[in-house]
Amino acid sequence: MKILITGGAGFIGSNIADRYLELGHEVVIVDNLVTGQRENIPSEARFYEMDIVEENLRQVFEAERPEVVSHQAAQMDVRKSVADPIYDATVNVLGSLNLLQNCIQFGVRKFIFASTGGAIYGEQDYFPADEEHPLRPLSPYGITKLTTEKYLYFYQQTYGLTYTILRYANVYGPRQNPHGEAGVVAIFTTRLLKGQQPVINGDGLQTRDYVYVGDVVRANELALQAGDNRIYNVGTGKETDVNTLFRLLRRIVGVDTAEVHGKAKPGEQRRSVLDYSLIQKELGWNPSVSLEEGLRLTVDFFRKEM
């Protein structure tokens, strides 16, 4: 089938593109290259350098007529969303609506949406959070993801557009962007490899559910044929605090860099961990890569890149 991937030059999107091509699908990529990298784009994919908010996105749909849209593009920096919620909403809400309108006009069969499990639930009432947990996002980023989920329900009910929503935990792995504030695994890894000092925010006891990008790709593969009009968490069900993450990476890299703590970031979520039992039951998905194995694969990738 022909699949249009937004954000296909980015960390997660490019890994998905590689897998879809391996499976024999035809892949079209739309990416504005603000955070994506041209070198991530598979040579077999057709590429349009374009922003999803642009009116001429229509031309891509008109020319390519995709059967499936995999929407991975986003303004995904939580702190940037707090600093500039208007920009965040422009990309994440208006950009998604632009895609959805084109999907309806050009007969797209299915829409796979990369949502967030890390930010959509807010401070959790119980651990791990399942898909029925109350939705209380603490950031504009989380709010825009929830808004798009609600729009997808509207488009399904009104126009019959089939969707699958995947609420990612904290995804890490090869090609993750080590620049900026998001992506702690990539940031710590590159700094440790370069002999620089990583800084842990606050006491480092804040926890996240770290899921390897290869497992996320598998969830996107399964969503091509199943999970219609369903919402799934994609995580490991395991919490890891930042101090533990730093110590694991330090050992894997093979350095004795000091553990340095800086100021806590205001408004940062304290704990986040996802229950993946629904996607396990309905799609047969399981996280197959352990944290230590995934970190080793990530360190190996960045080591080769240097």
Spot the catalytic one: 20, 121, 141, 210.
141
> How many other C-beta atoms lie within 10 A of the C-beta of residue 14?
26
Strand pairing class (26-31; 2-6) = parallel
- 141 as an active site residue: the answer is yes
What's the Cα-to-Cα distance from 211 to each of 12, 14, 290, 301, rounded to whole Å?
12, 17, 8, 17
Provide the residue count of the chain: 306
Unique residue bearing structure tokens 């939580």: 78
> How many other C-beta atoms lie within 10 A of the C-beta of residue 144?
27
b/e per residue, 33-57, with b = 16+ CB within 10 A?
Answer: eebbeeebbbeebebbebbbbeeeb
Task: Tell the burial category of 291 from Cβ atoms under 10 Å away from its Cβ (0-12, 13-18, 19+).
Answer: buried
Q: CB-based contacts of 105: which residues, under 8 Å, 6+ apart?
A: 58, 61
Please give the positions annotated as active site: 141
